[in-house]
Homo-oligomer: A and B are copies of this chain.
Amino acid sequence: EDVQARADSRRIPINKVGIKDVYHPVRVKDRSSGEQHTIANFNMYVALPHNFKGTHMSRFVELLHGNEREISVESFRDILAQMTEKLNAQTGHIEMEFPFFVMKKAPVSGVESLMNYQASLIGELHNGVSELWLKVVVAATSLCPCSKDISKYGAHNQRSHITIKAKVDGHMWLEELIDIAESEASCEVYGILKRADEKHVTERAYENPKFVEDIVRDVAVRMNNEARVRAYVVEAENFESIHNHSAYALIENDKDEVVGL
């Protein structure tokens, strides 16, 4: 007898049930070089109606092993659809988080190096309608306008994490979100910088001071202007070089939300 398929009398549906923290190799298409190999962490859930006792955990992992050793981002929506079908669910949810690399050119020397970003795809399918969120965490430099303003010389600056999570309609590259985050920081960061590059990024950041509030607003302006983005959450966290805590800001916006009915 199948214990999971037994009837359940508590009359309580479950919003999400499935597996968490499964690692699996994936291939991700990128804008420049075709595709890259990386390792993703998966969370895969379905909604369970009140009258079923349990779901079938092994089927989630089977989906990841479907056809070939590595799964691709293109197959992400397919897996979401297959999952809800295979688990007889009306609602499915998949999160896939992975390190993502972009080859960048240093600003003066032009030396190339890989930069790593933490990226995610988040898909939700509900009654046949799916939505897809892209998420990137982008390391960058922030330099404090107040510190620059009041000091004879110098200005405190630090590594900052800019996080963009966007519900997209149509195709959008992860690199497009990364570009937006990097261009709205005080300066972007690189894997390799030669002396002339280091001079450039130091001066660039000094010429372009930004509070954490400025960063999230300037990114939000870009997201507002981007038609493919239907909703977003933008965060910036400065790992302050003069404190042992972070400065933090967040803006969220759902363009399709109906307000004031």
Most buried by B among A10, A64, A191, A220: A191
Interface: A36 (CB within 8 A): yes
A-B pairs with beta carbons under 8 Å apart, 26 shown: A3-B146, A3-B149, A4-B146, A13-B251, A14-B217, A16-B250, A17-B212, A20-B237, A20-B248, A21-B245, A21-B246, A23-B245, A25-B114, A37-B37, A64-B114, A65-B112, A69-B114, A153-B206, A154-B154, A154-B206, A156-B205, A158-B158, A159-B240, A189-B243, A191-B243, A198-B242
Chain A residues 56-72 with CB under 8 Å of chain B are 57-58, 61-62, 64-65, 69-70
The segment from A38-46, A81-89, A124-132, A168-176 that touches chain B is A38-46
Give the top 3 A-B pairs by smallest Cβ distance, nearest first.
Answer: A154-B206, A37-B37, A20-B246
Query: Within the complex, what minimum Cβ distance (angstroms) separates A87 from chain B?
Result: 13
A145-B206 CB under 8 A given contacts A20-B248, A65-B112, A156-B201: no
A192 touching B244, Cβ below 8 Å: no
* A53, closest chain B residue (CB): B213
**Cross-chain contact of A141 among B155, B242, B246 (Cβ < 8 A):** B242
Query: Within the complex, what minimum Cβ distance (angstroms) separates A26 from chain B?
Result: 10
Give chain B residues whose Cβ lies under 8 Å from the Cβ of A241: 141, 157-159, 189, 205, 241
**Cross-chain contact of A43 among B155, B248, B251 (Cβ < 8 A):** B248
A199 touching B151, Cβ below 8 Å: yes
A257, B175: Cα distance in complex, Å? 39
A102, B15: Cα distance in complex, Å? 31
A183-203 interface bits toward B, Cβ cutoff 8 Å, 1 = contact, 0 = none: 000010111111100110111
Would you call the interface of chain A mostly helix, strand, loop, or mixed? mixed
Give chain B residues whose Cβ lies under 8 Å from the Cβ of A218: 10
* A212, closest chain B residue (CB): B17
B248 touching A17, Cβ below 8 Å: yes
* A156, closest chain B residue (CB): B202
B157 touching A17, Cβ below 8 Å: no
**Cross-chain contact of A187 among B69, B157, B159, B242 (Cβ < 8 A):** B242
Query: Within the complex, what minimum Cβ distance (angstroms) separates A190 from chain B?
Result: 7
B15 touching A154, Cβ below 8 Å: no
A213-B22 CB under 8 A given contacts A198-B147, A202-B147, A242-B201: no
A192-B248 CB under 8 A given contacts A156-B202, A242-B202: no
